[in-house]
Structure 1
Amino acid sequence: MSTTSLSSAVMTHPVRERQAAALAARLGLGVLALDPDPTGPPSALRTALVAWAARAADAGHHLVVQDDVAAPPELLELVAGSVARFPDEALIFYTNWHARNGAAARLAALAGAGWVRAVPEEFAPTLAICLPVRTADAFRAFAAGTAERHDDEVMATFLRAEARPGLLAVPTVVEHIGTSSINGHAAQGIRLAVCPVGAAEARPLLDRGWVLEEWGWLPYMRYGEGYVRPVGHEHDADPRRHLRWTEALPATGLTEGQVRDVVRRHRDEDAAESVGRLFGRGFADELWIHCLLLGRQAEDAARRHAAHRAAAGPVGEAAARVRAAALSTVGPAGLPPERRPELNPEHTALMTAYAQHAVRCGGRLLEPVEGRSAGAR
């Protein structure tokens, strides 16, 4: 697909108009979509509806980018190639490092995938999202009467109604910048991309990488603690509730005893002490167990999708670099927001090595459940 059949808009507020104009000029993006009521109550959706209406008449797809991002000059080229490959999908090019969707993208990166199906009950990241124009028009009609102000929540509800959550790009070339939030998300602190890489590393995976459609149960972290999203959690009476990993573990086919036995036998206690001195022993324990479970699920996904991996063909060093990027963010993302500003490169390197070892040990949890039904995975 050529970029000529892809239109784009940058959604912004007048206080960031200069920033948005610079972004549009740098990336070759289209019009600026300004908040039509800048003195009214904060509402990302109000501006998003303007941005989605700004599609070119002859475009087949429309890309909406928010003003507080950075991206490489090749962004439009990468998006155009992706929509040519997946013409009917909602394609999401930025995923937060600390959300359930971030955990799904991180798991997919560790399994070697280029794309992953989004978590259906969570908000749909909208910092950089591309829709077929018919889908964009349908979204505008769907969202027109809602009182909700968060466009990412309305987008997720819309995609659920369409019975097809978006596809998340596993390599993340779009990065969030700053911590301010017109829409009230500043309390989340530093929030960055889950698998940040450059265009060269992203291109092979976006163009040829296999798609992880079903990731089974999903380990994730929030505010320093580990959680597990069970299979089918979108059908729960309260799908947004968070289940601590100890609570959710029986649905996975694992036992807490199995998990703690691997911790006892295989964790590097010197590394655990180092992480614990910085951020507390409880966090060190939670991070290692989270990464252990993440490694188990990534290894399981890689085994189950071996044929897809082979069919995708070689992607050079791209998959290894995306995997390394995913591991570099798991520790910082798992910290409580107020602790993230304390990080320096040495701390990040320590947590990355610590996480990497736990992920490598994850395969040790596969053998006891080998042969059980896929539903328990």
Structure 2
Amino acid sequence: MPAARVSSAVMTHPVRRAQAEEMCVRLGLGGIALDPAPDDDPSALRTALVAWSRTGDGATHHLMIQDDVAAPVDLLDLVAGCADRFPGEALAYYTNWHARNGAAARLAALAGAGWVRAVPEEFTPTLAICLPVAMAAEFRRYAERSADRHDDEVMAAFLRSRGPGGTGGAAALLAVPTVTEHIGTSSINGHAAQGVRRAVCPAESADARPALLSGWVLEELGWLPYMRYGEGFVRLPGQDAGPDARNHFTWREALGHTELTEAEVVKVMRRERGEDAAAAVADLYGASFADELWIHCLLLGRQAAAAARRYAPEPVVPDPAGRRLRAAAVSTVGLAGLPPERRPEVTQAHTDLLSAYAWSAVRSGDRMPAGDPLPRG
């Protein structure tokens, strides 16, 4: 039995109170945290501050979870086990499939890791997040001074403030297998325009437990390929440290920071991409998307293989659970890369097509000649 004692609260708005109360009963959570000013302008932070104040007597850690989440009945036990393993860390149990952090988690899944360090310049996913109680109190004091309404942005700023030059600490650790899932597309806080938002690597608790409780942690990403709105980008190494922290660099613009060239990337695509699959994807979503998705997945496979070579404690030989996690991560990459307005029309057959197409590129990236694209730390 885990030694950590985890209290919990579900942040909610009165319009979703019944949904939040049902979640509390089903998961054995501590109770709901209602928006204290539901008729004012929407503010996730306002409600989050209530949720973070509901730490239980004797608790070592506190889980804050939002009301539009599906989660397994053993969530609290799993969170307590992870808190035992990482007692001083902020632990996030959900990552959006279309964010930079989602790309980091997908890369980590392919590399065989159980956790990955979040990129510090992006919002910290707070759909389901656990903090040590002392850190939760520190966050409340920090956030009460903020005029921002987005708790995920304030959480990221708070964690950055505790990093080098602060009082110690780092960006959150992201769970690679995602046992929590976002449900619905509505957003009280104004995120509905992002469309369907799902977990990057959806997993059953049985598959997630070994990875979360004993899997290795990917701390260093190097350059990170990600997609948004049908176009491939690359996060540069150390991008958070400069004025371009939130800028988006296309993969072509960023190749100068890698060991690859555009000519090499295009040559591999022309040689190894299946013409029929490319035509099928292009027929559905356009030739540009077909090219961008394949190249993104090629770079993803390249970096995942490099990360496994450099950082995995032993050669990665996925067991059945590991193979399912890798498949789950790749199954979301095509959907996540589409513009939000196109995601609702994707059928299961289209998902299968996009997954197979993505896998062909990931495997091509894995087979690319070994280089040294990651910094040696």
TM-score range, shorter chain: over 0.9
- Which of these residues, 157, 178, 182, is aligned with residue 176 of structure 1? 182
Take 1:256 and 1:315, find their aligned partners in 2: how far apart are those partners?
31
**SS of the counterpart of 2:222?**
coil
Cα deviation for residue 365 of structure 1 reads: 3.4
Cα deviation for residue 309 of structure 1 reads: 5.7
Take 1:26 and 1:139, find their aligned partners in 2: how far apart are those partners?
28
- Aligned pairs, how many? 371
Cα deviation for residue 340 of structure 1 reads: 0.2
State how 1:1-377 maps to structure 2 within 5 Å. 2=2, 5-163=5-163, 164-307=170-313, 316-367=319-370, 370=371, 372=372, 374-375=374-375
More helix by share: 1
Take 1:308 and 1:27, find their aligned partners in 2: how far apart are those partners?
36
Matched-pair contact (CA < 8 Å) for 1:253–1:376? no
Cα deviation for residue 238 of structure 1 reads: 2.5
Take 2:352 and 2:115, find their aligned partners in 1: how far apart are those partners?
26
Cα deviation for residue 96 of structure 1 reads: 0.2
- Which residue identity does 2:89 align to in structure 1? E
Taking structure 1 as the reference length, the TM-score comes to 0.96
Cα deviation for residue 316 of structure 1 reads: 3.6
Take 1:217 and 1:156, find their aligned partners in 2: how far apart are those partners?
20
Gap change, CA 1:306 and 1:144, over 3 Å in 2: closer
- Which residue identity does 1:362 align to in structure 2? G
Take 2:200 and 2:7, find their aligned partners in 1: how far apart are those partners?
26
The CA deviation string for residues 92-133 of structure 1, in whole angstroms up to 9 with x for no partner, is: 000000000000000000000000000110000000000000
Any gaps of 5 or more consecutive residues in structure 1? Answer: none
Matched-pair contact (CA < 8 Å) for 2:89–2:131? yes
Cα deviation for residue 374 of structure 1 reads: 3.8
Q: Percent identity?
A: 64
Take 2:58 and 2:359, find their aligned partners in 1: how far apart are those partners?
47
The CA deviation string for residues 190-244 of structure 1, in whole angstroms up to 9 with x for no partner, is: 0000000110110110111000000110000000000000100001213111000
Matched-pair contact (CA < 8 Å) for 1:300–1:366? no
- Which residue identity does 2:272 align to in structure 1? H
**SS of the counterpart of 1:307?**
coil
Take 1:215 and 1:361, find their aligned partners in 2: how far apart are those partners?
20
Take 1:364 and 1:5, find their aligned partners in 2: how far apart are those partners?
45
Taking structure 2 as the reference length, the TM-score comes to 0.96
Cα deviation for residue 254 of structure 1 reads: 1.0
**SS of the counterpart of 1:219?**
strand
Take 2:142 and 2:318, find their aligned partners in 1: how far apart are those partners?
39
Matched-pair contact (CA < 8 Å) for 2:221–2:374? no
Cα deviation for residue 135 of structure 1 reads: 0.4
Gap change, CA 1:4 and 1:122, over 3 Å in 2: closer
Cα deviation for residue 253 of structure 1 reads: 1.8
Matched-pair contact (CA < 8 Å) for 2:4–2:80? no
Take 1:4 and 1:107, find their aligned partners in 2: how far apart are those partners?
29
Cα deviation for residue 31 of structure 1 reads: 1.5
Gap change, CA 1:152 and 1:201, over 3 Å in 2: same
Matched-pair contact (CA < 8 Å) for 1:294–1:362? yes
Matched-pair contact (CA < 8 Å) for 1:209–1:315? no
- Which residue identity does 1:140 align to in structure 2? R
Take 1:181 and 1:27, find their aligned partners in 2: how far apart are those partners?
22
- Which residue identity does 1:175 align to in structure 2? E
- Which residue identity does 1:297 align to in structure 2? Q
Take 2:365 and 2:73, find their aligned partners in 1: how far apart are those partners?
38
Matched-pair contact (CA < 8 Å) for 1:210–1:309? no
Cα deviation for residue 4 of structure 1 reads: 7.4
Gap change, CA 1:75 and 1:309, over 3 Å in 2: farther
The CA deviation string for residues 318-342 of structure 1, in whole angstroms up to 9 with x for no partner, is: 2111100001000000000000011
- Which residue identity does 2:90 align to in structure 1? A
The CA deviation string for residues 12-53 of structure 1, in whole angstroms up to 9 with x for no partner, is: 000000000001111111111000000011000000000000
Matched-pair contact (CA < 8 Å) for 2:4–2:61? no
Any gaps of 5 or more consecutive residues in structure 2? Answer: 164-169
Matched-pair contact (CA < 8 Å) for 1:204–1:315? no
Take 1:320 and 1:210, find their aligned partners in 2: how far apart are those partners?
16
Matched-pair contact (CA < 8 Å) for 1:196–1:325? yes
299-308 or 239-248, larger mean C-alpha shift: 299-308
**SS of the counterpart of 1:239?**
coil
RMSD: 1.6
**SS of the counterpart of 1:375?**
coil
Matched-pair contact (CA < 8 Å) for 1:33–1:47? yes
Matched-pair contact (CA < 8 Å) for 2:114–2:212? yes
